[in-house]
Chains A and B, each alone.
Chain A
Amino acid sequence: METEFTPFASLLGGGLIGLSAVTLLATHGRIAGISGIVSRVLPPSVDKAGLPQGIIFLIGLLLAAPLWFVLTGAAPVQIVSSNELLLVIAGLLVGFGSVLGNGCTSGHGVCGISRGSARSIAATITFMATAFVTVFVLRHIVWG
C-alpha cells in the first residue's frame, strides 16, 4: 500500500527526535537509545540506579500519542500488519538483535552516527542492508 511522501513533516519530526537526544545528553549525560533504555529496566540485571529515569522517559514516550490526539483532534495515522505470527517473530528479532548489537535506529542510527562512532556506522549499514533485503524478499518474492 502506498504512503504519502512527507519531506517537511519527516524533517521536522526528525528534528524533534534530535532535540530529545540533545536534551537527554545535556541534562543526564545519556544517549537516547530506546533499546538501551528499555533493556536496562528489564531483568536480568536491572539497572537500579537508572530505573526512575528510564521509566519516566518511557512514560513520556507513551504520552506522546494521547497528547497528539488532544492537540490535533485526530489519532496519528498508522497501518500495522494484522499478521500476528509475523509480528511475534519480528518482535523477537528486534528485541534480541538490538540488545545483542547494543543499539537500534535511535542509539546507533541517530546518536551514534552523530558522534561519528565507527561501530554505530557499521551497525546502521548492517541493519539497513538486512531490512532492505527482508522487505524485498517479503514483498517481491514471498508475497510477490
Chain B
Amino acid sequence: MHLFSTLFAGLLFGTGLILSGMANPAKVQNFLDLFGTWDPSLAFVMGGAIMVTMPGFWLVQKRTTPLFHDAFHLPTRTDFDAKLVVGAATFGIGWGLGGFCPGPALTSLPLAASGTFFFIPSMLVGMMLAKYSAARLSKT
C-alpha cells in the first residue's frame, strides 16, 4: 500500500506536469520571454500547485507522523549560504537555456524527443558532480 501511494504520487506529478504545459520546453521558455512571445500560463501552474500544497501541508502537519512512516523529513535549515544562491542561479541559467527542469525532463523521456536524450544524461552527470564535489569539500 505504501509503495502504491508513492507510485500514485509520481504518476500524479507527471500527469500534472503534462496537463499544465510544464513538460513542453517551448511553453516554459515563452513564460520566461517577457519581451517576446510571452505565455503567462506557468504562473498559473505555480499558483495552482501552491493553492493545493499550502493548505494541504498545513493539514498534514497536524498529524504527528505520516501514514506509513515514523517521522516527517522536512528541511530544517534557515540560514542563507553561498551554495544556495550560486546553486539556484546556476539552475536558473540551465532552465532558461533548455526549458527543462528535472521533473518535466524525466516525464518527457518516454516521448523520445532527441533533445531529451541529450539533456537527461547531462543532468544526471551534473547532479553526480555536485554530490561528488560536496563530499570532497566536507572531507577537507
Contact = CB atoms under 8 A, between A and B. Distances in A.
Nearest to B44: A10
Given A19-B12, A76-B24, A88-B118, 5 more contacts: A6-B44, A24-B6, A65-B110, A68-B15, A105-B95
Interface string B76-105: 011110011111111111111111111101
Report, nearest first, the 5 A-B pairs whose CB atoms are least far apart: A60-B10, A101-B87, A95-B126, A13-B20, A64-B14
B114 interface: yes
Interface in A79-123: 79-84, 86-106, 108-115, 117-119, 122-123
A115 B27 CA distance: 27
B11 A64 contact: yes
Contacts of A110: 46, 49-50, 53
Nearest to B34: A132
Interface residues of A, number: 113
The B interface, classified by DSSP as helix, strand, loop or mixed, is: helix
A18 B21 CA distance: 15
A115 B102 CA distance: 21
Contacts of B87: 96-102, 123
Interface of B: 2-3, 5-27, 29-30, 32-37, 39-42, 44-54, 56-57, 60-61, 63, 65-69, 71-75, 77-80, 83-103, 105-111, 113-116, 118-132, 134-135
A101 B89 CA distance: 9
A28 B69 contact: yes
Contact of B19 (A16, A92, A126, A135): A16
24 contacts: A5-B39, A6-B41, A9-B19, A14-B45, A15-B51, A15-B52, A17-B49, A27-B9, A38-B102, A60-B13, A62-B14, A64-B11, A66-B110, A78-B26, A94-B91, A94-B94, A95-B128, A98-B127, A101-B84, A110-B50, A126-B92, A130-B92, A131-B93, A139-B36
Given A101-B87, A131-B95, A95 B110 contact: no
Contact of A118 (B9, B15, B78): B78
Contacts of B106: 34, 38, 58, 61-62
A44 interface: yes
A37 B22 CA distance: 19
B96 to A, nearest CB: 3
Interface of A: 1-7, 9-32, 34-35, 38-39, 42-45, 52-53, 56-68, 75-84, 86-106, 108-115, 117-119, 122-124, 126-136, 138-140
